């Protein structure tokens, strides 16, 4: 298995960046298509400055990057970092989901004394 390693500071940054629902939504959106900060501001009914702040947090966590196109700044998602974050957040959950479905199977078995 190839492990995309991220150091502890960046893990902290990724976790706190993704702890906010709006920021998670921005990441999802800009992964689909690049979007300008002003287009995002319209979408969330937020001020340009508020969205700019969210984007800056995501940028520091390297979840998104910005590029200038004319007068606009386009935000785009960083697939590598997002994949690493998804792995960190998800694998422990996957372990427990696996365990719980096995417990379910054990509990579904007839116990001694039950009429078959």
Partner 1 sequence: MTVVSTTKDPEALRFTIVADFAAPPARVWQVWADARQLERWWGPPTWPATFTRHEMVLGGISEYYMTGPEGEKAHGWWETVAVQPPRTFEFDDGFADENGDRDATMPVVRAQVELEDTTDGTRMSITSRFASTEHMEQLTNMGMVEGMTEAMGQIDAILAET
Q: Which of 1, 68, 110, 116 binds partner 1 (CB under 8 A)?
A: 1
**Binding of residue 53 to partner 1 (CB under 8 A):** no
Q: How far is the CB of 69 from partner 1 (least distance, A)?
A: 21
Cβ–Cβ < 8 Å for 13, 81: no
Q: How far is the CB of 28 from partner 1 (least distance, A)?
A: 5
The set of long-range contacts for 36-45, using a CB threshold of 8 Å and a minimum separation of 24, is 36/72, 36/73, 36/74, 36/75, 37/72, 37/73, 37/75, 38/72, 40/75
**Binding of residue 19 to partner 1 (CB under 8 A):** yes
**Binding of residue 22 to partner 1 (CB under 8 A):** no
DSSP 107: H
Question: How far from chain centre, in Å, is Cα 31?
Answer: 11
For residue 73, what are the CA distances in angstroms to 28, 35, 82? Answer: 18, 8, 21
Q: Which of 70, 98, 113, 116 binds partner 1 (CB under 8 A)?
A: 98
**Binding of residue 85 to partner 1 (CB under 8 A):** yes
Q: Which of 43, 48, 53, 97 binds partner 1 (CB under 8 A)?
A: 97
Task: State the residues that interact with partner 1 by CB under 8 A.
Answer: 1, 3, 5-6, 8, 11-12, 15-16, 18-19, 24, 27-28, 31-32, 79, 82-83, 85-104, 106-107, 111
């Amino acid at each position: 298995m190839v492990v995309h390693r991220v150091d502890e500071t960046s893990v902290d940054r990724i976790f706190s960046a993704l702890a906010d629902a709006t920021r998670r939504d921005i990441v999802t959106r800009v992964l689909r298509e690049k979007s300008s900060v002003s287009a995002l501001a319209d979408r969330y009914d937020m001020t340009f400055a508020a969205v700019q702040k969210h984007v800056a947090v995501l940028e520091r966590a390297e979840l998104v990057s910005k590029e200038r196109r004319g007068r606009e700044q386009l935000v785009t998602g960083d697939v590598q970092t997002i994949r690493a974050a998804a792995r960190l957040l998800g694998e422990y959950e996957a372990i427990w989901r696996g365990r719980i479905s096995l417990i379910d199977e054990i509990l579904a078995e007839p116990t001694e004394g039950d009429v078959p």
